[in-house]
Amino acid sequence: MAAGVTVVVDYGTCNIDSMVRALEECGATQVMRSRDARDIDNADRIVLPGVGSFAAAMRNLRQYGLVDALREASGSRSVPFLGACLGMQLMAGEGTEGGEGAGVPGLGLVAGLVDRLVPANQGERIPHIGWNEVAAKSDSTLLAGLPANADFYFVHSFHFQTADPAVEAGRTPFCGGFTSAIEDRERAIFGAQFHPEKSQKNGFRLLRNFLAV
């Protein structure tokens, strides 16, 4: 069992309840759905899920007063943090989705840019929806114990281009290849471009790995 309070950040997007249930099934003893900065300040772990637009999500996080709390928790306090799908993208310094020609500032937890996927081969359709493999780095904490090239469930049109290749924990062979998992173990920051809560046993293994940090 993972002791302490795991806060699932509710910032007005869908997919919150399924993440809460998945974490509970994976052994989290106390899971709290919240959009209160005080709960983030007191969290032992933070999960930022989400589906939707980068710009709209950042607007909601600012409206609810959560940006500074998330930055503080994952900065000086080094609270274990997991971003999933849009939640991973929001960890970037900037995103192009919904910015009407200008970049939209993100949380800035991991240096990089979120930009649109561009098909590299005939038959590649955007949005990228369905099961695809993730080739994990051998020393990954988030993907430890999973089969080589394990499959996960994706729904997205944008991807995270990391400024530092060292933070890439997993890669997926679609649209020329893109970063599908990130981690900075020194700061206990992790991200998954796919939906672990919808990825059956592989996704649940990932969540258990995070809860064990």
Query: Does the model's pTM come out above 0.85?
Result: yes
pLDDT tier, 78 (very low <50, low <70, confident <90, very high otherwise)? confident
Largest Cα–Cα separation, the chain: 49
pLDDT, tens digit, for every residue of 85-107?
999 999 999 999 976 666 899 99
Q: What is the pLDDT of residue 76?
A: 75
Q: What is the pLDDT of residue 98?
A: 78
pLDDT, tens digit, for every residue of 103-151?
899 999 999 999 999 999 888 999 999 999 999 999 999 999 999 899 9
Whether 143 and 181 have beta carbons less than 8 Å apart is answered as yes
pLDDT, tens digit, for every residue of 187-202?
999 999 999 999 999 9
* pLDDT at residue 83 greater than cutoff 80: yes
Average pLDDT over residues 68-83: 91
- Round to whole Å and give the CA distance between 146 and 53: 30
* pLDDT at residue 1 greater than cutoff 70: no
pLDDT averaged over every residue in the chain: 94
Residue 195 burial (C-beta neighbours within 10 Å; 0-12, 13-18, 19+): buried
DSSP codes joined into one string, 44-89: SEEEE---S-HHHHHHHHHHTT-HHHHHHHHTTS---EEEETHHHH
DSSP annotation of 147 reads P
Q: Where in the sequence numbering do the catalytic residues fall?
A: 85, 195, 197
Domain borders along the chain are 2-211
Q: What is the pLDDT of residue 74?
A: 86
- Residue identified by tokens 């809560």 is 197
Phi, psi of 172, rounded to the nearest 5 degrees: -120, 130
Chosen CATH of 2-211 out of 3.40.50.880, 3.40.50.1110, 2.60.40.1930, 3.40.605.10: 3.40.50.880
pLDDT tier, 58 (very low <50, low <70, confident <90, very high otherwise)? very high
Q: What is the pLDDT of residue 197?
A: 97
Q: For 11-20, 29-38, 106-115, 124-133, which range has the lowest pLDDT when averaged over its residues? A: 11-20
* pLDDT at residue 166 greater than cutoff 80: yes
